[in-house]
């Protein structure tokens, strides 16, 4: 029974005999509003108030502290649209999203498929794959900085593989800093994709798989033609989650590179934080609002596309 139906019936019961028809016509009974009041008040009072306040600040020239607030209308937005740094941060977000999503999905499906077969010590592998998800970025950041440094483990491995010419300081190089953050994000989040796909694959019809086997399909073809179409919903969900994560990404870029060197790993989250810390609260808020609009558009587009495919 849905929540709305349940509330409607409760309302009918409270109103007494004879009221059933009128309340059914009006949909949600007046008393139903009272039941949703706590959540409604919380949402409007806290979340949307903050959004509204951010929109208000975005129209000001303000340092975020003083009593001197000058209204500048849409000037902050105009400036933002011509700020190459903001566009560069958005471009990095797009690249980050595409690569992380593609690799995370591929690895998640492969790991989940492998662990659905009879693998020895499967529990150990599951723990190993999922463990990075639960480690806080702040704890791992110094380790990543060390691993990716000139004297770090990555360069040590490359040197011992005879690939010494590829060694570099991965976070201090403008051509590799962004990719380093992408790699770290994949490392830390592939466990989520794995868990989602592992659960989704549990729902795949075994008879269909069995029939495919009888028809001579190999593992890869079965995975491609049967399993992946069955977990498409999970892929879409993961896509939306990744898009949101990319848009509000802050921790790894801030902790590893602070968006540098020379803004080569700049992301909107770091951009907004830096502008706020530099006493540009209005400009920083305009960037936040812009990001919110982009996030809403992205989620609408992805949801509509997912529905259209159904």
- Residues that bind other proteins in the complex, under the rule CB under 8 A: 14, 30-31, 34-35, 37-38, 41-42, 45, 63-68, 145, 148-150, 169-174, 257-258, 260-264, 273-274, 276-281
Longest Cα–Cα distance of the chain, Å, equals 86
Nearer to other proteins, 35 or 130 (CB): 35
What is the closest distance, in whole angstroms, from the C-beta atom of residue 175 to other proteins in the complex? 9
Nearer to other proteins, 272 or 289 (CB): 272
Nearer to other proteins, 54 or 169 (CB): 169
The residue written with tokens 């989704």 in the block is 200
Nearer to other proteins, 66 or 202 (CB): 66
What is the closest distance, in whole angstroms, from the C-beta atom of residue 118 to other proteins in the complex? 44
Nearer to other proteins, 7 or 242 (CB): 7
How far is 29 from 7, CA to CA, in rounded Å?
8
How far is 128 from 133, CA to CA, in rounded Å?
10
What is the closest distance, in whole angstroms, from the C-beta atom of residue 51 to other proteins in the complex? 17
What is the closest distance, in whole angstroms, from the C-beta atom of residue 205 to other proteins in the complex? 45
What is the closest distance, in whole angstroms, from the C-beta atom of residue 158 to other proteins in the complex? 15
What is the closest distance, in whole angstroms, from the C-beta atom of residue 288 to other proteins in the complex? 14
What is the closest distance, in whole angstroms, from the C-beta atom of residue 69 to other proteins in the complex? 11
CA 14 to chain centre: 44
Nearer to other proteins, 49 or 224 (CB): 49
Nearer to other proteins, 130 or 187 (CB): 187
What is the closest distance, in whole angstroms, from the C-beta atom of residue 93 to other proteins in the complex? 21
Residues in the chain: 310
Nearer to other proteins, 111 or 254 (CB): 254
């Amino acid at each position: 029974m849905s929540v709305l139906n349940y509330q409607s019936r409760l309302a009918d019961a409270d109103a007494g005999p004879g009221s059933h028809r009128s309340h059914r016509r009006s949909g949600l009974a007046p008393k139903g509003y009272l039941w949703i009041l706590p959540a409604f008040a919380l949402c409007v009072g806290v979340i949307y108030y903050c959004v509204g306040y951010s929109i208000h600040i975005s129209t000001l020239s303000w340092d975020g502290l003083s009593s001197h607030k000058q209204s500048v209308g849409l000037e902050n937005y105009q400036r933002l649209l011509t700020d190459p740094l903001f566009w560069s941060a958005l471009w990095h977000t797009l690249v980050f999203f595409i690569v992380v999503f593609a690799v995370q999905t591929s690895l998640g499906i492969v790991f989940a498929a492998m662990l659905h077969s009879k693998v020895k010590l499967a529990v150990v592998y599951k723990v190993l794959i999922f463990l990075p998800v639960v480690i806080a970025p702040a704890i791992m950041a110094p380790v990543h900085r060390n691993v990716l440094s000139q004297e770090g483990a990555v360069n040590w491995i490359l040197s011992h593989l005879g690939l010494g010419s590829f060694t570099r300081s991965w976070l201090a190089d403008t051509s590799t800093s962004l990719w380093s953050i992408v790699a770290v994000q994949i490392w830390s989040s592939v466990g989520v994709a794995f868990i989602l796909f592992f659960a989704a694959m549990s729902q795949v019809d075994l008879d269909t798989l069995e029939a495919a086997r009888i028809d001579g399909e190999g593992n890869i073809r079965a995975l491609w033609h049967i399993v992946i179409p069955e977990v498409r919903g999970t892929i879409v969900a993961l896509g939306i989650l990744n898009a949101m994560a990319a848009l509000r990404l802050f921790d790894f870029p801030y902790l590893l590179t602070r968006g540098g060197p020379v803004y080569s790993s700049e992301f909107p989250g770091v951009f907004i934080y830096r502008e706020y810390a530099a006493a540009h609260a209005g400009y920083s808020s305009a960037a936040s609002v812009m990001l919110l609009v982009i996030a809403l558009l992205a989620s609408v587009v992805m949801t509509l596309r997912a529905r259209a495919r159904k």
